[in-house]
Structures are given as C-alpha cells and as structure tokens.
Amino acid sequence: MSEESLASYAPWRVTYPSGDLELSGFFITPPGTGPFPTLLFHHGSGGLRPHDRDGIDTLRALGYAVFVPLRRGHHGNPGLYWLDRITHPWGDPKMGPQLVAALQDECSDALAALEWVVARDTVDSERIAMCGHSYGGVMVMLSAARTSAFRAGVSFAGPSQSWSDVPCLRELLITAMRDVKAPLLLLQAANDHSLLTTYTLAAELFRAGKPHEVRIYPPIGSSPIEGHGLFGRAPGLWRADVEPFLLRTIGAGSRGCYSSSSGDDGHSSTRLT
C-alpha cells in the first residue's frame, strides 16, 4: 500500500511495543465510548493493501473495534522485513526454516498487539477475536496455539501461496492445530492458490477435537491471486458466515453507521460513513 493510501488510516494511528521495537498500527473504533468487543486484523505478506479497507470497514460496521497492527519491517516499521531474511532460493530446503523463523518473530508482534489491545480501557478484554489474511492467517493460527487471551480466530486464505513450497511451514501449522485454544473459522475462495491449506488444517483440527468451521466460496475473479484476496475483494461473500461466528464466540458488536455498495466484481462491500 502506498503512503498515500495509508494516509486514510492516519486518524487512527497508534504505536505498540514488541520487545525492543516500537511498531505502528491503527485502532479503529465504532461510534460510542466502549468498552467494545474488539477484532485484531493481521495483514498479509505484502502489508496492508488498498482492498483490505473494504474488509476492515465491514468488520467495523458489525460494531466491533478493529486494531490493525503493522508488523516489523512493514510500512516503515523498524525490524527486518521477512523477505529480506530469506537468503536461499524460494523452495530450497534451507529457505523454509528462514521463513518460519521470520513468521515466528512476526507472531511475537501479533501477540504484543494483543497485549496492547487487552490493556485498553475502551476494549472489552473478555470479547476479543483475531482475523488475518494470508500470512496474517498464519498469525491467527500460531497465536491461537500460544495464548488463550482471545476467544476466536478467522483465517482468510491462510498461507496458500507458500503451502506447496515450504514443508516446515506446513508442519509448524499442523502441529499448532493440535494446541489451538480458541475456535477457528477457515475461509478460502475456490480459485485460491491451493485449497490443501484449509483441507489439511481442518482435518488436523478434527483429529484433535478442536472446534472449527470451514467455508469454501465460489471463485473470485479469474485468477488465483484474485481468489487469494477474499478478505478485501469479497466481504459480501464472507460476512454472512463471519458475523454469526463472531456472535457465537465473542457476542454482538454495537452497531455503527455504514452503507453497502456493490464493487466491480458484483460482491457487496461496506464503507463506514
């Protein structure tokens, strides 16, 4: 996302500590004084993208506060960007552990963001959920295995682009599924890069007796990268599943003001007014 696009989030900019790093993020609240049930939204590998805004606005329109933490190395934040830590060719056996180490460090940022949220007076700390797109979905799943401080998690598209190339990432997530401490909702579009991400992790959750739900949606656009953009490109597809899942796990939000419109792909979107 360009700095110009990020500027639209400027009224909500905050900072949060992660170890010795001071990281930026955006804490977006609905109308009212709170305390609000709160969602953390974790962006994907390329940072916060312009089309993420429709998804974020949809979550806020449901009445939830939304914290969007920017992780290390993204959007000018201190720390090394994850891709700069990869020194071996993509798919090389030595590359996998480098990626996993980078994502584990970013998960520390995700957990630090959770701690920041829990400490806010405007947040109902008993009603927190995590959502994430792509590598942000990885943050949700790894965090769910490391803490019980949030009540539910939603993964949009998961690490489908990396699934076939990085066996140690697959093993890390499969192991995490056995330890998750919150119900998970796994979402993908049918034309995402690989549906094995959702099928494999859901099977492990089933074997471990962990509460979870799965939704596979019709194709979005005509390419895998469009399908991978489920969160921001097609909130009209997932809202009807995410809203009741959140209602069951963290309760209803306090409704804000919003308007619905139809995007170029024909799916409805939500924009806060």
Domain that holds residue 227: 3-272
Q: How far apart are the first and last CA of the chain?
A: 22
Helix, strand, or coil here: 105? helix
pLDDT at 255: 61
| Number of domains forming the structure of the chain | 1
pLDDT at 263: 40
pLDDT at 3: 66
Q: CA-CA distance, 183 to 200, in Å (whole number)?
A: 16
pLDDT at 30: 86
pLDDT at 8: 85
The CATH number that applies at residue 156 is: 3.40.50.1820
Place of tokens 């993204």: 74
C-alpha closest to that of 134 among 162, 112, 109, 153? 162
Q: Count how many Cα atoms sit within 13 Å of the Cα of residue 104 in the half-sphere of its side chain.
A: 12
By the 8 A CB rule, do 267 and 260 touch? no
pLDDT along the chain (273 residues), means of 10: 73 96 95 92 93 94 96 94 94 94 97 98 96 98 98 97 94 98 98 97 98 98 96 97 97 61 38 34
pLDDT at 198: 97
By the 8 A CB rule, do 241 and 215 touch? yes
Q: CA-CA distance, 175 to 75, in Å (whole number)?
A: 31
pLDDT at 257: 39
pLDDT at 273: 29
